Amino acid sequence: MVEIGENSEFDKLKNNLLRDSKHGSKIMDEKQLENIDVFCQEYKHFLDKGKTEREVVKESLVLSEKFGFKKFDHNINYKAGDKIYHVNKNKDIVFAVIGKNKTKNGVKVAVAHIDSPRLDLKPNPIYELNDIALFKTHYYGGIKKYQWFAIPLALHGTVFKKNGESVDICIGESEEDPQFCVSDLLPHLGRERMKKSISEVFLGEDLNILVGSRLLASEKGVVGSKNEIGLVKLNILKILNENYGITETDFLSAELEVVPAFKARDLGFDRSMIGAYGHDDRVCAYVSLMGILNCEDVEDTVITVLVDKEEVGSGGNTGMNSSFFRYFIEDLAKQDGVEARHVLSNSKCFSMDVNAAFDPNFPSYYEINNSCHLNRGVVVTKYTGTGGKSGSSDASAEFMAQVRCLLDKNNVIWQTGELGKVDGGGGGTVAKFVANLNLEVVDVGVPVLSMHSPFEIVSKIDVYSAFLASKAFFKNF
Ligand code: MN
Ligand code: MN
């Protein structure tokens, strides 16, 4: 018989044998919760300032300079305590704090991606139909197309002109700015359409952005002959030319991204959550950035990599599968008189990315024991993948043991996670591309509700726990 009651054998067994995953507010005191609010206030600003990978690179660079980070120069011989940043093609940024051991024992790397699902303008975007001007788009990353109809949108990006100049564009964010929208069919006329499956009715080619409806006019009235067509399009091009000096052909040498126009906001009566566009994966980008900016006196060199193109498979010269990160390590290793391959093979990585939080609105899509949950802290995901772990790097048991000890020792609230039900779908992260370089790597991140939607949700306790995890990783691993 097992004795039951307070401090009983039953309690001891419970404490010793059962896995413990508690709601963060059971563990955190009022002071900590206050710190969390302050931290998340800054995080919300970061989200509002960086809605594209280029903007996040710029904003991160500005923040890092305040903490004494300097531009990397491979000709400089860096010493312990030096803080550097290195930008790759305006879409990736790497930060490093040189440790006392330099790269000799390997380095500690946190990687997060700064691209998010969105609508990209096509190279030839502008057209006119029945006196309405629109932009054609090609969506980027995994979106549920219906979520992008009838919401306020903003246009962000950079245009490179024929004369070599470039112009940054950001329209729809300030109060005075106009905004954009994809129109949706009214329910009154949707009867036939509603009978079809969702993938049949919401098509990529229908994600066209309304950009204008007034005819080109001079002081004397409408320009051109009575039956002239294309006057709305021409008027839009005239406005763009007046404001930005661009022509229709310049869209070819541009990267213009259409993103939700709303700002990051507290969510819920208790303000426990944040709703925003782009938590995936700017939440991990922010915590891994803050982790390294607050680093001093480290033993091994620590590195944060903010990387582009994760949402489309990490390809291209700015994706994690490109060589820019390996080249950076090669530069550091060379200074220290060691081989880059030895540095990489001795290195450890937190692949910091979000996981799908258990959604009370859709419980049947989750396996409740292995899903992550809002407010239970940073989530450690041993493997990702689709249909039988396909495409996953699967962290080793050895490494998982080190990670859980680290988090426990540093009082970081953490939980385990798996992406939904087996055979329910799946996904991947940059972990496998890091693993290709022979580092030890595991996915560590923040649970997210409504992932890949225009308005994703995270819990503030989890955001802060992820920050504490990145700090502990850099300082104490
Ligand atoms: Mn992600
Ligand atoms: Mn994603």
pLDDT of residue 460: 98
Identify whether 109 is part of a domain: yes
User: What is the percent of the chain where pLDDT is above 90?
Assistant: 89
pLDDT mean over 165-194 = 96
Using the mean position of ligand 2's atoms as its centre, give its distance from the Cα of residue 219 in Å. 49
Among residues 320, 292, 314, the alpha carbon closest in space to that of 304 is found at: 292
pLDDT of residue 52: 98
15 in the same domain as 100: yes
Using the mean position of ligand 1's atoms as its centre, give its distance from the Cα of residue 31 in Å. 31
pLDDT of residue 151: 98
Using the mean position of ligand 1's atoms as its centre, give its distance from the Cα of residue 232 in Å. 39
Query: Nearest 5°: CA angle at 157, between 207 and 129?
Result: 35
297 in the same domain as 154: no
Using the mean position of ligand 2's atoms as its centre, give its distance from the Cα of residue 154 in Å. 20
Question: Which pLDDT tens digit goes with each residue over 200-211?
Answer: 999 999 999 999
Report the number of distinct structural domains present in the chain: 2
Identify whether 272 is part of a domain: no
pLDDT of residue 14: 87
Ligand nearest to C-alpha 312: 2
pLDDT of residue 2: 65
Out of 203, 227, 260, a domain closes at 260
Domain carrying residue 224: 118-260
Ligand nearest to C-alpha 283: 1
Using the mean position of ligand 1's atoms as its centre, give its distance from the Cα of residue 226 in Å. 52
Report the C-alpha gap between 414 and 407 in whole angstroms.
Answer: 7
Identify whether 350 is part of a domain: yes
Using the mean position of ligand 2's atoms as its centre, give its distance from the Cα of residue 456 in Å. 11
307 in the same domain as 236: no
414 in the same domain as 346: yes
Q: What tokens appear for 185 in the block? A: 């069919």
Strand partners, 180: 153
223 in the same domain as 201: yes
Using the mean position of ligand 1's atoms as its centre, give its distance from the Cα of residue 315 in Å. 15
303 in the same domain as 212: no
Ligand nearest to C-alpha 111: 1
Using the mean position of ligand 2's atoms as its centre, give its distance from the Cα of residue 212 in Å. 32
pLDDT band per the 50, 70, 90 thresholds, residue 405: very high
Question: Which pLDDT tens digit goes with each residue over 37-49?
Answer: 999 999 999 999 9
Ligand nearest to C-alpha 113: 1
Using the mean position of ligand 2's atoms as its centre, give its distance from the Cα of residue 142 in Å. 7
Ligand nearest to C-alpha 307: 1
**Is 90 exceeded by the pLDDT of residue 5?**
no
Using the mean position of ligand 2's atoms as its centre, give its distance from the Cα of residue 268 in Å. 24
Contact 84, 103 (CB under 8 A): no
pLDDT of residue 229: 74
**Is 80 exceeded by the pLDDT of residue 221?**
no
**Is 80 exceeded by the pLDDT of residue 219?**
no
pLDDT of residue 216: 92
pLDDT mean over 3-10 = 76
**Is 70 exceeded by the pLDDT of residue 227?**
no
Using the mean position of ligand 1's atoms as its centre, give its distance from the Cα of residue 300 in Å. 27
355 in the same domain as 288: yes
Using the mean position of ligand 1's atoms as its centre, give its distance from the Cα of residue 140 in Å. 13
Identify whether 4 is part of a domain: no
Identify whether 34 is part of a domain: yes
Identify whether 265 is part of a domain: no
**Is 90 exceeded by the pLDDT of residue 19?**
no
Give the end-to-end CA distance of the chain in Å, rounded to a whole number. 43
Residue 84's CATH number: 3.40.630.10
Q: What is the DSSP string of 217-254?
A: EETTEE-S-TT---HHHHHHHHHHHHHH---GGGGGGE
102 in the same domain as 136: no
pLDDT of residue 220: 73
Ligand nearest to C-alpha 285: 1
Average pLDDT, the chain: 95
Using the mean position of ligand 1's atoms as its centre, give its distance from the Cα of residue 62 in Å. 24
pLDDT mean over 410-419 = 95
Identify whether 461 is part of a domain: yes
**Is 70 exceeded by the pLDDT of residue 226?**
no
297 in the same domain as 338: yes
Using the mean position of ligand 2's atoms as its centre, give its distance from the Cα of residue 220 in Å. 52
pLDDT of residue 7: 75
Using the mean position of ligand 1's atoms as its centre, give its distance from the Cα of residue 89 in Å. 21
Other beta carbons within 10 Å of 186 = 7
Question: Which pLDDT tens digit goes with each residue over 258-268?
Answer: 999 999 999 99
**Is 70 exceeded by the pLDDT of residue 6?**
no
The burial class, CB within 10 Å (0-12 / 13-18 / 19+), for 165 is exposed
Using the mean position of ligand 2's atoms as its centre, give its distance from the Cα of residue 445 in Å. 12
Ligand nearest to C-alpha 141: 2
Out of 260, 291, 306, a domain closes at 260
pLDDT mean over 51-70 = 98
Using the mean position of ligand 1's atoms as its centre, give its distance from the Cα of residue 129 in Å. 37
pLDDT mean over 23-37 = 93
pLDDT of residue 217: 84
Using the mean position of ligand 1's atoms as its centre, give its distance from the Cα of residue 190 in Å. 34
Using the mean position of ligand 1's atoms as its centre, give its distance from the Cα of residue 213 in Å. 37
Using the mean position of ligand 1's atoms as its centre, give its distance from the Cα of residue 421 in Å. 18
Using the mean position of ligand 2's atoms as its centre, give its distance from the Cα of residue 208 in Å. 23
Residue 219's CATH number: 2.30.250.10
Q: What is the DSSP string of 424-462?
A: S-EE--THHHHHTTT-EEEEEE-EEBSTTSSSEEEEHHH
Question: Which pLDDT tens digit goes with each residue over 88-135?
Answer: 999 999 999 999 999 999 999 999 999 999 999 999 999 999 999 999
108 versus 28: the higher-pLDDT residue is 108
Return the DSSP state at 55. Answer: H
Using the mean position of ligand 1's atoms as its centre, give its distance from the Cα of residue 90 in Å. 20
394 in the same domain as 370: yes
Using the mean position of ligand 2's atoms as its centre, give its distance from the Cα of residue 202 in Å. 20
Using the mean position of ligand 1's atoms as its centre, give its distance from the Cα of residue 77 in Å. 35
Identify whether 270 is part of a domain: no
Contact 281, 111 (CB under 8 A): no
166 in the same domain as 110: no
Using the mean position of ligand 1's atoms as its centre, give its distance from the Cα of residue 369 in Å. 22
**Is 80 exceeded by the pLDDT of residue 462?**
yes
Give, as residue ranges, everything with CB less than 5 Å from ion ligand 2: 280
224 in the same domain as 309: no
pLDDT of residue 88: 98
pLDDT band per the 50, 70, 90 thresholds, residue 8: confident
Out of 212, 234, 260, a domain closes at 260
